[in-house]
Chain A
Amino acid sequence: MQASDPVLDIRNLRAMLPGEAGPITLLDDVSLSVCAGETLAVVGESGSGKTMTFRCALGLAPAAARIVAGQVLLEGQDLTSLGPEAMRERRGAVISMIFQDPLTALNPVFTIGSQIAEVIRAHRRIGRAAARALAIDVLRRVHIPDPARRVDDFPHQLSGGMRQRVLIGMAIALNPRMLIADEPTTALDVTVQAQILELLTELRRESGMGMVLITHDLGLVARHADRVAVMYAGRVVETGTVDEVFARPLHPYTTALFRSIPSLEGAAAEMLPAIEGQPPMLADLPPGCAFAPRCFLGRDRADCRTIRPPTDAAVQGTHVSACLHANLIAAEAA
């Protein structure tokens, strides 16, 4: 890890949603940081708070959700203290986010060129012709063939992979310092996935921006990320470099995730071990560790059932886990 200051530093972020039966904690003490030129993968199942963390960071959370504690430092400045207009000025220019479904994330009634130009013109005072020239340049940077002609295409004339390239182009048009890619390849087929991730990696190297890759796919994490954060029920349960986490996970949830990946070795007919039970409802979290009821370690331990573990319960250098019994994992999992 470089000694440089992180571009994005989320500190102890806590977000609540008012519910009928009292407030629901969406995010609980979430801390994540990304340095320049680095890719942080955020993994976890649906509803674990991966997307919500970054929506809150960008001021794009649902209107009812409230950030009740914590800071989101973007190049040292706390975004949670900014007004909506100052926040808007940073979105798309300093910190960009791209979404899961490229098929519906473009406006069907305008050409892709005009939509890229639109983003540029939302942040810079330049004329139409200049914005169009920049849009063509952006299309070239995301490797769209024949950009001068494609700039006048409508979204329906492009394939899913091309549309995701256009969206990435919109996100990086103003050279942001930080790019949040929320499952950028989930809606695409596997060959296109690889191309899109190569493109993202290339753009990150060229510009030195920091990148967050939100994904379910642990294979992608291994190939494209430097560090990984595992989220469960609105908390970060484990963070570390990809090598550390993949070689020796320090949280039972991470271990269970790895075990549920099919392997090329082993009997084909063998059932994959699934994680038992259901992810907890955020409105009804158990009092102790949220994973305890499904955990091979904590299921029968009184402390796991009653004490909510601090997010840094086990620390080995840069490798941090929120498990009270991290030292037992390797032995138990074997």
Chain B
Amino acid sequence: MSATIAARKLPARRRPVPRFLRHPGLVVGGVLLLLLVLVAIAAPVLAPYPPLATDLMNTLSQPSLAHPFGTDQYGRDVLSRLIWGTHVSLEVALAVIGLSLSLGTAIGAIAGFAGGWIERGVMALNDILLAFPGFLLALALVAARGSSLQSVIIAIAIAYTPRVATVMRSVVIVIRPRPFIEASHAMGMTATRVLLRHVVPNALPPVIVVATISAASAILAEAGLSYLGLGIAAPTPTWGNVIADGQGVIASNPWISLSAGLCIAITVIALNLVGDGLRDTLDPQMRRQTGAGLL
């Protein structure tokens, strides 16, 4: 009964959109992320120099108006390389989210919904993958396939899929016994239809949160692999490569590594803010606790 009364008190026909705008972390993170996406898309226009153009007369210059973050040991403009690096980092993040979210959601949903031996088998495999250090897996894959953007994306996606699958399965198990699922069966819907239309949409919010936070780790992982020389091969401008380039001259030209590190930090913070914000706004229980949605 109390639920009925509470439902009546809600203002009629309120759309969920304004709720997202009332969460400060989500707004800040979202704006940062939007700016990063714009930078990535507009990289060819924004970057003052081509990212691979060397200027051997002007190596390791200090920051100036012409080169705000200076130049590296080959005279390449660091700012331009960082702007192009945004493109690579976000591409990795987006591809990893796309791959691990779709794969992990499918695996977790099927395992959780089917139950029985299918669930046990799938989750045992999943746990094995989960127990295996993701970075090591990525290293092995890059070593086997050679270092390229694709290898990095596939390697990181494989490392993150089991996490998404684990979360998805646990959410599906919670949703499966809910009355509206039983009611759907009673109305003669096929199992596939019940899974796709009723289970998955209700399970997505927590999975989206995990995926967003995984995207931040994916960017870190890409930078880590590139820094070790196992990521995207050297001349390509990525943040990890810029850090690696600047490492040798960190005493005299700290801006090179620092600026790239700052880019990574900002992106990771932005993604985490968005992830936390989504968790707060998508989960009604959290919303009640933080009060963010009730303002």
Contact = CB atoms under 8 A, between A and B. Distances in A.
Interface of A: 58, 60, 88-93, 96-99, 101, 103-110, 118-119, 122-123, 153, 156-160, 167, 170-171, 189
30 contacts: A60-B186, A88-B190, A90-B188, A91-B186, A91-B187, A92-B189, A96-B186, A96-B187, A103-B3, A105-B180, A105-B182, A106-B180, A107-B198, A107-B201, A107-B202, A108-B180, A108-B202, A109-B201, A119-B187, A119-B189, A122-B189, A122-B190, A123-B188, A156-B10, A157-B12, A157-B13, A160-B1, A160-B3, A167-B183, A189-B1
Interface residues of B, number: 25
Given A99-B182, A109-B202, A167-B183, A156 B188 contact: no
Contact of B186 (A99, A103, A106, A109): A99
Contact of A105 (B1, B4, B10, B183): B183
Given A107-B198, A107-B202, A122-B193, A91 B188 contact: yes
Nearest to A88: B188
Contacts of B178: 104
A159 B7 contact: yes
Contacts of B190: 88, 122
Interface in B158-187: 178-180, 182-187
Contacts of B184: 107
Majority secondary structure of chain B interface residues (helix, strand, loop or mixed)? helix
Contacts of A157: 7, 10, 12-13
Nearest to B189: A122
Given A110-B197, A167-B183, 16 more contacts: A60-B182, A88-B190, A90-B188, A96-B187, A99-B183, A99-B186, A105-B183, A107-B184, A108-B202, A109-B202, A118-B193, A118-B197, A119-B187, A122-B188, A156-B7, A157-B13
Contacts of A158: 7
Contacts of B10: 156-157
In this complex, the member of B178, B187, B190 whose beta carbon has the largest number of chain A beta carbons within 10 angstroms is B187
Contacts of B180: 104-108
Given A106-B180, A107-B198, A157-B12, A60 B187 contact: no
Nearest to A118: B197
Contacts of A89: 188
A147 to B, nearest CB: 16
Nearest to A91: B188
Nearest to B116: A63
A189 B188 CA distance: 29
A103 B4 contact: yes
A97 B186 CA distance: 6
B179 A104 contact: yes
Nearest to A180: B186
Nearest to A167: B183
Contacts of B186: 58, 60, 91-92, 96-99
A101 B179 CA distance: 8
A106 B202 CA distance: 12
B187 A105 contact: no
Contacts of A97: 186
B77 to A, nearest CB: 49
A170 B187 contact: yes
A92 B187 CA distance: 4
A314 B207 CA distance: 60
A159 B4 contact: yes
B96 to A, nearest CB: 26
A254 B145 CA distance: 76
Contact of B187 (A104, A108, A110, A171): A171
Interface string B4-16: 1001101011000
Contacts of B3: 103, 160
B47 to A, nearest CB: 43
Contacts of A88: 188-190
B159 to A, nearest CB: 30
Contacts of A105: 179-180, 182-183
Contacts of A98: 183, 186
Nearest to A90: B188
Contacts of B4: 103, 159-160
Nearest to A158: B7
A110 B201 CA distance: 9
A188 B189 CA distance: 27
